[in-house]
Amino acid sequence: MQKYLETGRIINVHGTGGMVKVECWSDSVEAVTSLPYIYFSPEGDGKRRIEKASYMKQFALLKLEGIDDRDSAASLRGRVIYADREDIALEEGDHFIADLIGLKVFDADTGENYGEISDVLVQGAQDLYVVSRPDGATSLLPAIKPFVIDIDYENGVKVRPIPGMFDDGASEA
């Protein structure tokens, strides 16, 4: 599992004191504003302490250690930021998208292999798992209890689909 996860991108500066405006790629802007540090690579390079954090609409506003003026902040525009997974508290039953991608999907009753999760679409009511099937087709699986029975990072995802979800009537993504 990846230690550092993509969590957003610096899209602009905010004010003259070195704050940056971040497009958040997590479930909530609070997940980003509550971080103690951000990093500038998936290897954890470029660690910066967050001195101050707030938000405006769906964007995080961060004051990073050592970034004290508008020009320094502007030099970070376009940079992807990463978070240490240990700094993010997950609710019970929640998962990092990066951990779900590539998991095999199996029927909970028959053991049939339906394919693997290739993407997660974050929707309003519930997320949708995009399952790439062995025949090359894709199916959408609502990420809710009636369908997703168990998620095990070593043994895959056990599901109980309704008729048409993974057979000839499967939807194309």
> What is the sign of the dihedral through the CA atoms of 153, 158, 164 and 168?
positive
Question: Can you give the pLDDT at residue 173?
Answer: 43
User: Confidence band (pLDDT; 50, 70, 90) for 171?
Assistant: very low
Q: What does the chain come to in residues?
A: 173
CATH 2.30.30.240, the chain: domain bounds: 97-159
Give φ, ψ of 118 to 5 degrees: -110, -15
Give φ, ψ of 157 to 5 degrees: -110, 125
CATH 2.40.30.60, the chain: domain bounds: 4-86
Average pLDDT, the chain: 92
Tell me the whole-structure pTM to 2 decimals: 0.80
* DSSP code per residue over 38-84: EBSSTT--S-EEEEEEEEETTEEEEEETT--SHHHHHTTTT-EEEEE
CA distance 57 to 30: 11
What number is the average pLDDT over the span 72-89?
Answer: 95
Q: Locate 20 and state its tokens.
A: 């940056």
User: Confidence band (pLDDT; 50, 70, 90) for 94?
Assistant: confident
Please write the tens of the pLDDT for every residue from 12-28.
999 989 999 999 988 78
CATH of domain 97-159: 2.30.30.240
Angle at 112 between CA 116 and CA 100, to 5 degrees: 25
CA distance 153 to 100: 8
Q: Locate 27 and state its tokens.
A: 């479930």
DSSP-derived letter for residue 1 is -
CATH superfamily of 4-86: RimM (2.40.30.60)
Question: Can you give the pLDDT at residue 11?
Answer: 98
User: Confidence band (pLDDT; 50, 70, 90) for 104?
Assistant: very high
